[in-house]
C-alpha cells in the first residue's frame, strides 16, 4: 500500500468508542510500523456531541508508544484539555508528535507556545483539518502566534514534511 502513496492511518476514537490503546487496534499499528507510515490519533474532548473523555484521553498514547517504539504517532486536534500531559509525553517519546487539526491556533495554551518555541520546536505541526476547518482563518491565526521565526517555519511546514516523510519541492 505504501507504494500507492499511503502516508498515514487516521484513528478517530470517539467515532468507534474504542480507546486507541485497546489491543484490537494493535495489528493496525504493527502494520503501520511494517509499512513505515504514521498514525494520527484524535485526542482530547471533541466538538461533536459524542463521548470523548475516555476514548480520546491522550494518556492512552503512553501505552501505544511503549508497545510500538518505532511507530510514528501524531496526536490530532491538540488534546484539549490535556495539553500539558501531551507536552510531557512528547518529551518522553521520540516518535510522538502533535498537530493542531480542527483546533484554532489562537486557542493554543501559553505552555504549548513555550514548548514550540523551545525544546519542542520539532514536535508540533499546523493542520487546519481541511475541508472541515476554515483553512484561511486557521492559517491567519497560526501566523499571528508569538513564535520565533525558526519555530514558525518548523510549525507551519518543516515538521509535517519530516514526520510524514514527504518529499515536497517547489516546481516552477
pLDDT band at 171 (very low <50, low <70, confident <90, very high): low
Looking at the domain that runs over 2-163, which CATH code has it been given? 3.20.20.140
Contact 62, 32 (CB under 8 A): no
Helix (H) or strand (E) holding 65: helix 60-67
Asked if residue 96 lies in contact with residue 61, where contact means CB atoms within 8 angstroms, the answer is yes
Instruction: Tell me: pLDDT of 73 over 80.
Output: yes
- Could you tell me if 126 and 154 are in contact, meaning their C-beta atoms sit under 8 angstroms apart? no
Q: Are 44 and 78 in contact (CB under 8 A)?
A: yes
H helix or E strand, kind and range, residue 97: strand 96-99
> Where are the chain's structural domains?
2-163
Q: What is the pTM of this model?
A: 0.92
Amino acid at each position: 500500500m505504501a507504494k500507492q502513496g499511503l502516508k498515514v492511518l487516521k484513528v478517530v476514537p470517539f467515532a468507534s468508542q474504542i480507546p486507541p490503546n485497546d489491543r484490537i487496534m494493535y495489528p493496525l499499528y504493527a502494520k503501520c510500523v511494517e509499512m513505515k507510515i504514521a498514525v494520527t490519533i484524535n485526542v482530547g474532548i471533541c466538538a461533536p456531541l459524542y463521548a470523548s473523555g475516555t476514548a480520546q484521553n491522550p494518556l492512552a498514547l503512553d501505552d501505544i508508544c511503549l508497545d510500538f517504539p518505532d511507530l510514528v504517532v501524531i496526536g490530532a486536534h491538540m488534546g484539549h484539555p490535556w495539553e500539558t500531559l501531551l507536552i510531557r509525553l512528547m518529551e518522553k517519546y521520540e516518535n510522538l508528535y502533535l498537530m493542531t487539526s480542527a483546533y484554532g491556533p489562537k486557542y493554543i495554551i501559553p505552555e504549548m507556545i513555550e514548548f514550540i518555541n523551545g525544546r519542542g520546536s520539532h514536535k508540533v505541526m499546523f493542520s487546519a483539518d481541511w475541508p472541515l476547518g476554515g483553512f484561511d482563518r486557521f492559517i491567519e491565526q497560526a501566523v499571528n502566534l508569538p513564535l520565533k521565526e525558526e519555530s514558525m517555519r518548523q510549525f507551519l511546514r518543516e515538521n509535517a514534511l519530516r514526520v510524514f516523510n514527504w518529499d515536497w519541492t517547489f516546481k516552477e
